[in-house]
Chains A and B, each alone.
Chain A
Amino acid sequence: MKAKIHKFEQNGEYILLDINSGAVHVIDKMIFDIMDIFDGGNDAEVMEKLSASYPKADLEEALSELHELMEAGELFAPDIDVPPTFKEKGLVKSLCLMVAQDCNLRCKYCFGDGGSYGQERAVMSPEVGCRAIDYMLENCGPFRKHFEVDFFGGEPLMNMKTVKAVAEHVHELEKAKGVQIKLTMTTNGMLLNDENIKWLNDNNVSVVISTDGRREVHDRMRPDAGGHGTYDKVMKNFKKFVDSRKGEHYYMRGTYTNENLDFTEDVLAMHDAGFDVLSMEPVVLKDSPLALREEHLPRIYEEYDRLTEAYLKRHREGKGFFFFHFNMDLSNGPCVAKRLSGCGAGHEYFAVAENGDLYPCHQFVGREGYKLGSIYDGITNKELPRYFRESHVLNKEKCRECWARFFCSGGCHANDDLFHGDIRKSYELGCELQKKRLECAIYVQAMLALEKMEQGEKVGEFTTAEGIR
C-alpha cells in the first residue's frame, strides 16, 4: 500500500509528515506510537493496544487531536494520482552548454573524464553557443518568460570567448523579446582572475564554485593536471570573487567520497574560510575506490545528524550559514505538477555538447544511445524525450510508494541509468541518502519554525534562501 504518512525521530524530537498534503507536525512520543496503529477510523483498536502504555484520558485526547488534523486536511490527505499538468510536447526552458569539454584540473571523482566526456577534448564555438540560445527560444512553446542557461564543462572559464559571445547574444534577446534568461556558471576557480570576476559581475552571472572543504581533502581530490594541490590558489580566487559581489549570487559546493565521511568538518571549514552559502554532495561512482557503498550508510547517517546539529548550533548563535539540502520551504514549495515533473532532463532541460548535439542533460553527454538530435536539426529522437517526461514519480516503481516522492521528485535519471541501465530503476544508495537528508531538512525547518512560533510569529512566514541568492 502507498504510504500516507512518514514519521521519524531526530535528536529526540518526533516528527510526522502527511505525505499528500505536505503538512509537518511535531508530535509527542504517544502520538508517535499511536501512528503505528491508527488508520483514521480504528480508534477502538488504538485504545485497546495502547491502554497498557498510556492513560485512557490521554489517548482519547490524542485521538481527538488527530481527528482534528484529518478534518483540516492535514492528516491522511487523499492520494495525488493526476497526470502532470505540464504540456504534452517537450519544451525547452533550460540549457546546459558544454562550452569547454576540457579541464585544467584532474579531480579524482570526475564523471566527465577530465572534462572530455570520453570524447576528444574540444571547445564550443561562439556560433554553436549562440545558435543554441536561438534554438531554445524557438522551441520554448508560447508565452514563456523565464529561461536558464548554464555554462558548464569541463571548465567553462577556459573558453571565455564563447561564454562572452553567448552572454552578449542573451542580453540582446532579453531586450528584444522581453524574456529573462538567467545565466549561471559552474567553475573550479583556477581562472577566476580580476578580469573574469569583473566580467561575471557585470553580466549578472550566478556562479557555483567548487571546493571540497578542508585543505587536505581538497588537495587530495582536486589536483591540477600536474598533480599539484590547488587549494591555496582557488580559495584566494574565491575569496576575492565573493567579496567583489558582496557575498551574493554564488554557491560553494563540494563533493564527499568514502575518504571523508566526516564531511561536516569540510562544510564547517568552508564556513570558517568566510563562505556561507554551501553545499556538500555525495559522490556518485560505480566500481571506484572512492565510491560510497551500502556499508557506509550508517556512518553517513550519523554524519548528517552531526551536520544538522552543527548547522542549528551556528544558526542559533547568530552566525548561521545556508546549507543547500536543509534549505526547504515547507509552506511555499513548488506545485504538484513541478514535483511530479522532476529535473526536466530530456524534455525541458537539455545539454548541448561542444558540437551542437543535444542530450537529455550534462551527465548524458557522450553516453551511448542518448543523443537526441542537434541544435541544427532539432530533436530527431522522438521516443526518448517522451520516455524521460513520463519517468516521473508516479511511473517509477519505487518512487510511487516512497514517502519522499513529493520532495525528491524521483531522483537522478543519469544515476539510475549508470547503475541499472534504466532511468526508471532508482539508484538505491541515492534514495537512502536523499531520504536521510530530507528528514534532516524537515527537522531543521520544523525546529526553526517552532522557535519562531515561540517568538510569536505566524506559521508559514519563515524564510529560506532561494536556489542561488
Chain B
Amino acid sequence: MKHIKTVNKPGLQKSLKTGGCGECQASCQSACKTSCTVGNQVCEK
C-alpha cells in the first residue's frame, strides 16, 4: 500500500475465542510497583 503501512499482526479479535486461561501475571498499574499496564504484557501461552 502507498499511503498506509501496517506495523503489526493484531490478535485481539482472535483472542476472544482462544484466550482466558488466566495463567498470566497480575498487572498492577500503580507507580510504586512499576505500573504494568496490560499493554506491556505478553501472553503466557
Q: B residues engaging A (CB < 8 A)?
A: 1-13, 15-16, 18-44
Contacts and interface: CB of A to CB of B under 8 A. Distances in A.
B5 A333 contact: no
Interface string A59-96: 00110011011000110011010101111000101100
B24 A415 contact: no
B25 A94 contact: yes
B1 to A, nearest CB: 5
A279 B36 CA distance: 10
A415 B30 contact: yes
Contacts of A330: 7-8, 10
A333 B27 contact: no
Nearest to B15: A335
B30 A414 contact: yes
A343 B27 contact: yes
Contact of A82 (B5, B6, B16, B39): B16
Nearest to A408: B37
Nearest to B33: A186
Contacts of B24: 146, 334, 338
A335 B18 contact: yes
Given A251-B34, A336-B12, A408 B39 contact: yes
Nearest to A147: B25
Contacts of B28: 343, 345, 349, 361, 412
B12 A93 contact: no
Contacts of B22: 86-87, 91, 93, 144, 337-338, 348
30 contacts: A21-B13, A24-B8, A25-B6, A65-B3, A66-B4, A78-B13, A80-B13, A80-B16, A93-B22, A93-B26, A324-B35, A324-B40, A327-B40, A328-B39, A334-B24, A334-B42, A335-B20, A337-B19, A342-B38, A343-B28, A344-B26, A348-B22, A406-B12, A406-B38, A408-B37, A409-B27, A414-B30, A449-B7, A459-B6, A459-B8
A450 B13 contact: no
A78 B14 CA distance: 12
A279 B15 CA distance: 29
Interface string A387-416: 000000000000000000011110110110
A449 to B, nearest CB: 4
Given A86-B20, A335-B19, A279 B3 contact: no
Query: What 6 A-B pairs have minimum CB-CB distances, sorted nearest first?
Result: A335-B19, A281-B31, A85-B20, A407-B39, A335-B15, A22-B10
A111 interface: yes
Contacts of B15: 334-337
Chain B residues touching A, majority SS: loop
B34 A208 contact: yes
A85 B16 CA distance: 9
A253 B35 CA distance: 10
Contacts of B3: 27-28, 30-31, 61-62, 65
Contacts of B25: 94, 146, 148, 182, 467
A221 to B, nearest CB: 13
A25 B42 contact: no
Chain A residues touching B, majority SS: mixed
Interface in A302-347: 324-325, 327-339, 342-345
Contacts of A331: 8-11
Given A335-B19, A345-B28, A467-B36, A20 B43 contact: no
A344 B27 contact: yes
Given A86-B20, A362-B33, A334 B41 contact: yes
Contacts of B34: 208, 251, 253, 279, 281, 324
A467 B26 contact: no
A264 interface: no
Nearest to A73: B13
A103 B16 CA distance: 44
B29 A334 contact: no
Nearest to A464: B42
A459 B41 CA distance: 18
Nearest to B10: A22
A18 interface: yes
B12 A69 contact: no
A23 to B, nearest CB: 4
A23 B29 contact: no
